[in-house]
Amino acid sequence: MATGKITKRTLDALQAGGVTGFLWDDELKGFGLKISAGGSASYVVQFRMGGREAKTRRYTIGGHGSPWTPFTAREEATRLLRLVDQGVDPVEADKQRRREAVDLAFSNYADRFAASCKGKGWSTLVTRSLHLHVKPVLRDKALPAITRVDVVAVFDRMP
């Protein structure tokens, strides 16, 4: 495990040299750069939730390139490590955010709504109408992100 300041120049030298492994930043404890055998580089932050005896966890900030530069990745690592100090696990927070995004997807909500329709033929009618007219326009868009423009697009699509 090598240590040193993570800069664009250091990154370019490591990628050109065909080095694989981790380079840990000597300025910010826990911030590192992972270089794969193919030469791609990802910024990571390593931390422990719950003290020394706790298991080491690693969170990938993102691959090198837009928008991640050494500077922006270091800022993000600082933010994540601050969250860890406050007792928030970034890995679990990210998983929770993804779960909520799936739950708020319009298509999931529409399926649950259609299944909840009671009465003779209503569920079939609602499912068919949603499938033909609404789902092609709104797809997996998050419910809070649906705007009037989207609703107008649904009505414009109807015969």
> What residues contact residue 134 under an 8 Å CB cut-off, 6+ apart?
106, 110, 154
pLDDT digits (tens, 9 = 90+) for 108-128: 889 888 888 888 888 889 999
Is the pLDDT at 1 greater than 60, yes or no? no
pLDDT digits (tens, 9 = 90+) for 27-79: 999 999 999 988 899 999 999 988 888 899 999 999 998 899 999 999 999 99
Sequence ranges of the domains in the chain: 2-86, 104-157
Give the residue-averaged pLDDT of 93-107: 82
2-86, what's its fold?
Double Stranded RNA Binding Domain (3.30.160)
